[in-house]
């Protein structure tokens, strides 16, 4: 059995076009802390992928290789007023073993059949 089994969320949000791209959301059937997003152009070409496994984020951008980041949710965050909190802040991931593990998760995941080949060719 594959590590993560992603499925596509169909919603009104996935019909919206922003800057020429549609955003699709992936949820994981068998791992609650794994999810993702991918953005497609009007010809169904993937332009960006973001997969989140726990607090590690793997991103692919058209014409570039993969970038790894860590959310700030796992970090000790100050309660000082005015400082941003939440997962919207990404920090570069310098732990090669952790990034290798996340890339392995992405490569061994199962994606929706209609998108699987297009997602896998990016990694």
Q: Give the pLDDT confidence of 38-96 residue by residue, as tens digits.
A: 999 999 999 999 999 988 999 999 988 888 988 876 545 555 555 555 546 777 888 88
Please tell me the pTM assigned to this model.
0.82
Contact criterion met (CB below 8 Å) for 22 and 52: no
pLDDT at 74: 53
H or E segment at 107? Answer: helix 96-108
Percentage of the chain modeled with pLDDT above 70? 85
pLDDT at 80: 57
Mean pLDDT of 10-34: 89
* Mean pLDDT, rounded, of the chain: 85
> Could you tell me the CA-to-CA distances from 121 to 30, 58, 75 in Å, in that order?
23, 15, 32
pLDDT at 82: 57
Q: Pick the more confident residue, 23 or 16.
A: 23
Between CA 47 and CA 79 the distance in angstroms is: 36
pLDDT higher than 90, residue 99: no
pLDDT higher than 90, residue 36: yes
pLDDT at 87: 47
Q: Which of 3-7, 23-27, 87-91, 114-118 has the lowest mean pLDDT?
A: 87-91
């Amino acid at each position: 059995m594959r590590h993560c089994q992603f499925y596509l969320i169909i919603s009104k949000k996935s019909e919206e076009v922003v800057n020429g791209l549609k955003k699709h959301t992936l949820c994981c059937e068998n791992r609650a802390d794994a999810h993702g997003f991918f953005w497609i152009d009007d010809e169904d070409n993937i332009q960006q992928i973001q997969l989140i496994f726990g607090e590690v984020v793997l991103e692919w951008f058209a014409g570039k290789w993969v970038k790894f980041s860590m959310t700030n949710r796992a970090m000790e965050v100050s309660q000082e007023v005015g400082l941003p909190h939440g997962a919207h802040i990404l920090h570069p991931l310098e732990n090669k073993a952790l990034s290798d593990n996340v890339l392995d998760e992405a490569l061994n995941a199962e994606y929706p059949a209609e998108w699987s080949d297009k997602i896998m060719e990016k990694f």
